[in-house]
Amino acid sequence: MPLHWLLRMARWVRHPPSAGRVRLVLIVLALCLALYAVERWIGWPEALSPDRLRLPLRP
Protein backbone atom coordinates (compact mmCIF):
# COMPACT_ATOMS: atom_id res chain seq x y z
CA MET A 1 0.00 0.00 0.00
CA PRO A 2 1.47 3.39 -0.94
CA LEU A 3 2.62 5.63 1.86
CA HIS A 4 0.36 8.54 0.90
CA TRP A 5 -2.71 6.30 1.34
CA LEU A 6 -1.59 5.46 4.86
CA LEU A 7 -1.08 9.14 5.63
CA ARG A 8 -4.52 9.98 4.26
CA MET A 9 -6.13 7.23 6.37
CA ALA A 10 -4.35 8.55 9.46
CA ARG A 11 -5.66 12.04 8.75
CA TRP A 12 -9.21 10.69 8.33
CA VAL A 13 -8.94 8.92 11.69
CA ARG A 14 -7.86 12.14 13.39
CA HIS A 15 -10.38 14.34 11.55
CA PRO A 16 -13.30 12.21 10.32
CA PRO A 17 -15.44 13.53 7.43
CA SER A 18 -18.77 15.18 8.13
CA ALA A 19 -22.05 13.28 7.99
CA GLY A 20 -22.95 15.07 4.77
CA ARG A 21 -19.73 13.95 3.07
CA VAL A 22 -20.28 10.35 4.19
CA ARG A 23 -23.87 10.46 2.88
CA LEU A 24 -22.66 11.87 -0.46
CA VAL A 25 -20.07 9.10 -0.86
CA LEU A 26 -22.65 6.43 -0.03
CA ILE A 27 -25.13 7.88 -2.54
CA VAL A 28 -22.50 7.94 -5.29
CA LEU A 29 -21.50 4.37 -4.45
CA ALA A 30 -25.14 3.23 -4.55
CA LEU A 31 -25.63 4.90 -7.97
CA CYS A 32 -22.54 3.19 -9.34
CA LEU A 33 -23.71 -0.19 -8.07
CA ALA A 34 -27.19 0.39 -9.51
CA LEU A 35 -25.76 1.27 -12.93
CA TYR A 36 -23.56 -1.81 -12.83
CA ALA A 37 -26.54 -4.02 -11.93
CA VAL A 38 -28.68 -2.59 -14.74
CA GLU A 39 -25.86 -3.01 -17.24
CA ARG A 40 -25.26 -6.57 -16.06
CA TRP A 41 -28.91 -7.72 -16.14
CA ILE A 42 -30.31 -5.73 -19.08
CA GLY A 43 -27.19 -5.03 -21.10
CA TRP A 44 -25.61 -2.00 -22.64
CA PRO A 45 -27.58 -0.38 -25.49
CA GLU A 46 -25.91 -0.85 -28.86
CA ALA A 47 -26.62 2.80 -29.75
CA LEU A 48 -24.40 3.98 -26.89
CA SER A 49 -21.45 1.79 -27.83
CA PRO A 50 -18.65 3.51 -29.74
CA ASP A 51 -17.80 2.18 -33.17
CA ARG A 52 -14.24 1.14 -33.84
CA LEU A 53 -12.54 2.96 -36.61
CA ARG A 54 -11.03 0.70 -39.25
CA LEU A 55 -7.83 2.39 -40.29
CA PRO A 56 -6.19 1.21 -43.50
CA LEU A 57 -2.93 -0.64 -43.05
CA ARG A 58 0.18 1.17 -44.18
CA PRO A 59 2.17 -0.59 -46.90
Whether this model's pTM surpasses 0.75? no
The CA distance from 27 to 19, in Å, is: 12
The CA distance from 48 to 38, in Å, is: 14
The CA distance from 1 to 17, in Å, is: 22
Amino acid at the residue 56: P
Q: What is the DSSP letter of 43?
A: -
pLDDT per residue, tens digit, the chain (59 aa), is 789 989 988 998 999 999 999 999 999 999 999 989 988 898 877 777 777 767 677 76
